[in-house]
A and B are shown apart, each in its own frame.
Chain A
Amino acid sequence: MNVVIECRQADYRLNDGRALVTDLSFGVESGETLVLLGRSGSGKTTTLKLINRLLEPTAGEVLVEGRPTTAWDPIRLRRRIGYVIQEVGLLPHMTVERNVGLVPALEGWEPERVRSRVRELLALVGLEADQFAKRRPHELSGGQRQHVGVARALAADPPVLLMDEPFGALDPVTRAEMQREFRSLQQRLNKTIVFVTHDVREALLLATRIALLADGRLVALHSRRDFLHAPEPEVADFVSVLKSLDEELNL
């Protein structure tokens, strides 16, 4: 398998010396979905930002397509990586159409081509273009906004997607819907995806492999199948959350 993203002993420290991630090493293979699971403040988002060079590692390196991020032109690198974030990702002053078509427009596509791409993508994420293209983000529901966010990340057909708790702010029903759709998209598009969540259920549902982070360190990395029975105590903490819910419901 072809490794698309690789962290090699990557550290990220703030100027005051506080480490957000430490000695991070893992690879993401082409076409897989690696879920970064962990509690708040465990370094998941920092790891994503190291991949698209919103942050640069203070030690070690992060490689994308075999090249260290610091050797990439950051603009070129980011245009090859779709980025979906929770809530605020859409530009509030632009219509859905402009938001989705933004990266293609920046890439200099013809307006006509941008427009047809936008319609195609809105259809892909299940939004009627005639109805939604001219709306602004604040005129959409949370679920619709996330659909638009995913459509925008896919706009220039990047081989890699980074998703930072994309469904974190949604109600549980919408969330389950989005997760189902994400899985079907995954199968159709075959992107390399790094997906951040603190929800172990979501991780088990969407991942090819799950990387568990705690205090900025990678403590476990298992396939979805092996994760439930993994030996690490940190994994057991997360898995027990699932089990205790089941037990409570059975009572």
Chain B
Amino acid sequence: MRGGPVNFLEFLLHNRGEALALTLEHIVLVAVAMLIAVVLGVPLGIVITRQARLRRWVLGAANVFQTVPSLALFGFLIPVPLLGGIGSRTAVVALVLYALLPVIRNTYAGIAGVDPAVIEAARGMGMTDRQLLRYVELPLALGVIMTGIRVATVISVGIATIAAAIGAGGLGTYIFRGLAMVNNQVILAGAVPAALLALVADFSLGWAEHRLKTSR
């Protein structure tokens, strides 16, 4: 197939069925991973605002995952029982591990950044710790938490391209195929839609974030 498609747009048009399926696969990978990362990360971020001792460990562990090169992390996970193996489950686990740090860190930073005088006023009014969290800290930290989710999503869209290396599909499939074929157009057919996806995610979550910040 060398010298086949003239440019990647033509290639995408010609394979639009497959391209669409891969894009969808890519979105599902990221969406599932982000859902899990938020469900785990936001409560963890809240817990470490209350437990100073846990904070170092949680942030430290999340940091470590972030520093492992993504291709290596995917590789490391393959032999792990339950979580690992070949396929999308492993990919989701790896993506969650990457997404956790921004989510945890921003949840923590958002809550820790609430004006202590506001907290004290709320306590002085007789709020319990839970009420303080629900009515004061979380609403005021929401913008910062959303930023963390946005950053994590954009990172995940990029890293998810590597998921194809362990058979999880997604737009990375074209990138790895193009690499194997030494065909830049096929690489671009994976890379350009992935980049666009990241931009769309960044823009739409950024818009949601802005709405949240101005609505309060």
Contact = CB atoms under 8 A, between A and B. Distances in A.
Interface of A: 49, 52, 54, 74-79, 83, 85, 87-94, 102-103, 106, 136, 152, 162
Given A75-B128, A106-B131, A92 B123 contact: no
B123 A88 contact: no
B10 interface: no
Interface string B95-126: 00000000000000000000101101111111
B140 interface: yes
Give the interface size bracket for B toward A.
10 to 19
Contacts of A94: 135
Majority secondary structure, A binding face: mixed
Interface in B21-64: none
Nearest to A76: B126
B123 A54 contact: yes
A94 B118 CA distance: 12
A52 B135 CA distance: 21
A79 B123 contact: no
Interface of B: 115, 117-118, 120-128, 131, 135-136, 139-140, 216
Given A93-B140, A93-B216, A75 B122 contact: no
5 contacts: A85-B120, A85-B121, A91-B118, A94-B135, A102-B125
A88 B125 contact: no
A54 B125 CA distance: 10
A83 B140 contact: no
A88 B115 contact: yes
B112 to A, nearest CB: 17
B121 A78 contact: no
Contacts of A93: 139-140, 216
B124 A85 contact: yes
B128 to A, nearest CB: 6
**A-B interface, 4 closest residue pairs, ranked by CB to CB distance from nearest:** A78-B126, A79-B126, A83-B124, A93-B216
A55 B45 CA distance: 27
Contacts of B128: 75
Contact of A103 (B118, B120, B125, B140): B125
B126 A54 contact: no
A88 B121 contact: yes
B124 A92 contact: no
B139 A78 contact: no
The listed residue with most A CB atoms (<10 A of its CB), out of B122, B124, B126, B136, is B126
Contacts of B120: 54, 85
A60 to B, nearest CB: 22
A103 B126 contact: yes
Nearest to B142: A93
A119 B140 CA distance: 26
Nearest to A93: B216
Contacts of A90: 121
Given A91-B136, A106-B131, A75 B126 contact: yes
A120 to B, nearest CB: 19
Contact of B122 (A49, A74, A91, A136): A91
A169 B105 CA distance: 35
